[in-house]
Amino acid sequence: MQASGARGSIGKASYQAVRKHIDAGKKATEAFKLVAQETGRSTATVQTAYYRVARSLPGGGGVQLRPRKKAATRRAAAKTVTATAAAKPPARRGRPPKSAAAAAPTSAAGIARQLSEAAEALVAHIVRLEKELADSRARTRPTLGTPRVGARP
């Protein structure tokens, strides 16, 4: 499949079509929907192309950019790190384990121990199931000399 036109021309065309509708008095959401219907693309695709082109224009193309708070906070925090805080290991990200026992083993011996315990639990479960099956078969097996229920003479 070959691309038609220069690289980025579809985004620029989308941007110009949306601007035309906005300049005619339409709201941005209406303009995105109209351009999407005209071009056969989804509204989200048109929005993405519009904002990508707008951000690349000088002054942001009239699009207000919101500051990224997390990145700014991290940068500010990194600048104010003291010597005592620098000695601490970095904080663990994500949800902490429920307990130390729930934490995944990190050594090969720990992994082998966990595998062995799981195998023993599986064997015990299989033994219980086999016993239940044998008991069930013994209860349902007809004894000699008594007719089965529903059997014809």
User: Between the CA of residue 4 and those of 7, 8, 10, 50, 129, what are the distances in Å?
Assistant: 8, 10, 9, 19, 66
Question: pLDDT class for 147, splitting at 50, 70, 90?
Answer: low
Q: What pLDDT sits at residue 71?
A: 64
Q: Tens digit of pLDDT for each residue in 119-134?
A: 999 999 999 999 999 9
Looking at per-residue pLDDT, the higher value among 7 and 45 belongs to 45
Instruction: Sort 96 into a burial class: Cβ within 10 Å, 0-12 / 13-18 / 19+.
Output: exposed
Return the domain boundaries, the chain: 9-62, 108-141
- For residues 26 and 41, give the distance between their C-alpha atoms in angstroms, rounded to a whole number: 19
Asked whether the predicted pLDDT for residue 67 surpasses 50, the reply is yes
What's the pLDDT score for residue 7? 72
Other CB atoms within 10 Å distance of the CB of residue 61:
15
Q: What is the pLDDT of residue 2?
A: 46
Say what the pLDDT of residue 45 is.
92
> Whole-model pTM?
0.41
DSSP letter, residue 106: -
